[in-house]
Structure 1
Amino acid sequence: MELKIINRKFSICKVEDLSQIDYSDEFCFIGKTDEELSLVCSTELVPQNAIECDNGWKTFRIQGVLDFSLIGILSKISTLLADNKIGIFAVSTYNTDYILIKEENFEKAINVLECDGYIINR
């Protein structure tokens, strides 16, 4: 399986509302529940109305369009990384999954995945 590194820094935030989000960002993930409004965006585009923000994330995506019948792809990656003491923040879209990892663990994560046979597209 091929993984594509996204060459930018990300932040994970809790925001007051959607009014200050820069939707021109190539990567902008919004999650809304009855308890919170979360945002994953490029670090340089964190909105002023962020209530909480955690900077220092890097990411890769699983390449290709993943059919909904495919089972265990994200589970296998997250388990492999967890077994190596690497935490993740995952975002799923209609087509694929994105795995965010803290910068200080990113190279270790890439090495772990390569050793397990994943192809890393830098």
Structure 2
Amino acid sequence: MRLSVLDGRTGVCRLAPDSEIPAWVTSGGFCSVTRTTDELSIACPEASVPGDVRCERGWRALKLEGPFEFSEVGVLASVTAPLAEAGVAVFAVSTFDTDYVLVKEERLELAVAALRERSHEVL
């Protein structure tokens, strides 16, 4: 598996479920928006997030170099399992073509080492 570390820090935000999607979400770079009946979750460039928004800051995104077919089994698990064994918490986001695994910046070096130990290529 080949992964690449995306530039910049990502913030993971929680807004009320009935909130409008704010304009600052799409200011550039990686962004993901998920709405449920319980919340509106947003992952976007940390620098874009206003200070008064509930946000867990300091995430770094690793992109699994896809695309992957929906029928492929275990793609995400092949990355999350070694990270779990190394004690690295993740926030995972999937798109149509691929997956992204976010890890806290202070755990990035450990995450990369754990993935390389499992023969993943991390750029």
Give the TM-score taking structure 1 as reference length.
0.91
Structure 1 residue 83 and structure 2 residue 85: aligned? yes
What SS does structure 1 have at the residue aligned with 2:59?
A: strand
TM-aligned CA deviation for residue 25 of structure 1:
1.4
One of 96, 119, 122 as aligned partner of 1:120? 122
- Matching of residue 36 in structure 1 with residue 27 in structure 2: no
1-side partners of 2:118 and 2:91: how far apart? 20
C-alpha distance 22-12 of structure 1, shift in aligned 2 (>3 A): closer
More strand by share: 1
**Relative to structure 1, is the Cα distance of residues 49 and 94 closer, same or farther in structure 2, using a 3 angstrom cutoff?**
farther
Could you say what the CA RMSD is over the residues aligned between the two structures, in angstroms? 1.4
Q: For 2:24 and 2:74, how far apart are their aligned partners in 1?
A: 32
Q: Deviations over 1:56-110 (max 9, x none)?
A: 1111100120111111011121111111111000000011000000011110000
Partner of 2:3: 3
Q: Deviations over 1:18-70 (max 9, x none)?
A: 134342312110010001001000011114662x1100111110012011111
Q: In the alignment, which of 93, 100, 103 is matched to residue 101 of structure 1?
A: 103
TM-score norm. by structure 2 comes to: 0.90
Would the aligned equivalents of 2:59 and 2:103 in 1 still touch at CA under 8 Å? Answer: yes
Aligned residue pair count: 120
Does the 8 A contact of 1:20 with 1:49 survive in 2? no
Q: Percent identity?
A: 32
Secondary structure of 1:40's aligned partner: strand
After TM superposition, what 4+ stretches of structure 1 lie above 2 angstroms from structure 2? 19-22, 47-50
State whether residues 14 and 39 of structure 1, in contact with CA within 8 Å, keep that contact through their aligned partners in structure 2.
yes
SS at match of 1:57: strand
